[in-house]
Amino acid sequence: MAALSYADVEAYTKGRLQAEDVEVQRLFDAALRAARNYCGWHVTPVVDDEVLELDGHGGHVLALPTRKIINVSIVEDGVAIDTQTQLRVSKAMGLVRKRSGACWTDQYGAIAVTMTHGHETAPDFDLAVLTCVDKVALGVGMSSEARGSGGALTKKRV
C-alpha cells in the first residue's frame, strides 16, 4: 500500500477537504509529523536501507528508533558485526543485544546502522492522522466546496 497522502484526506472527508488545498496540505504535514514524533519513528511505509549514525551509550542494549525491523546491519567503531551470529535482534521492539553479552561502545557517532523497517500498512496510525486533520480543519471552520457548474473551489473560514 502507498504512503498516506493528501488524496487520502480528500477521500476521508468525502471531498469536504481538497487534496490541492495548500492549507489542507499544511495541516496534513503537521499532523503526520506530530504522529511520527509522538511514536518516535516514521511507522509507515516501509523504508529501505535507512542509514543512522548513533552515539554509543556503553550499555548492553542498543535501542533503535523503530518498532518493526525487517532487516538490519550494524557497524561499531568501524567493524561490521555479523547480525546472524553476533547479535540478538528484537524485530518488534527495535532492540539489539550482542550474543556475547558485551556492551556497546560508549563513543559518540561510533555506531552505524542500516535498516529496512516500518509497517507496510498501519490503518490505526493512518486513521489517527486523518482524524487529526479533519478535527483541526473543522475546529477552524475550514472547508473546500465545489460551487456552480464550473466546479470552482472556494475556501471558507468562520
Return d(Cα 34, Cα 37) in angstroms, integer: 5
In this prediction the pTM is: 0.79
Parallel, antiparallel, or unpaired for β 143-147 and 79-81?
unpaired
Q: What is the pLDDT of residue 155?
A: 56
Q: What is the pLDDT of residue 145?
A: 56
Q: What is the pLDDT of residue 99?
A: 97
Summarize pLDDT for 107-128 with one digit per residue, the tens. 999 999 999 999 999 999 999 9
Residues 6+ apart with CB under 8 A from 6: 19, 20, 24, 25, 28
DSSP code of 19? T
Q: Is the per-residue pLDDT at 133 higher than 90?
A: yes
Q: What is the pLDDT of residue 140?
A: 80
Q: Which of the four pLDDT bands, split at 50, 70 and 90, describes residue 142?
A: confident
Parallel, antiparallel, or unpaired for β 47-54 and 69-76?
unpaired
Q: How far, in Å, are 67, 80, 83 from residue 118 at the CA level?
A: 7, 23, 19
Q: Is the per-residue pLDDT at 144 higher than 70?
A: no
Q: Is the per-residue pLDDT at 54 higher than 80?
A: yes
Mean pLDDT of the chain: 91
Q: What is the pLDDT of residue 6?
A: 97
Q: What is the pLDDT of residue 150?
A: 38
Q: What is the pLDDT of residue 131?
A: 96
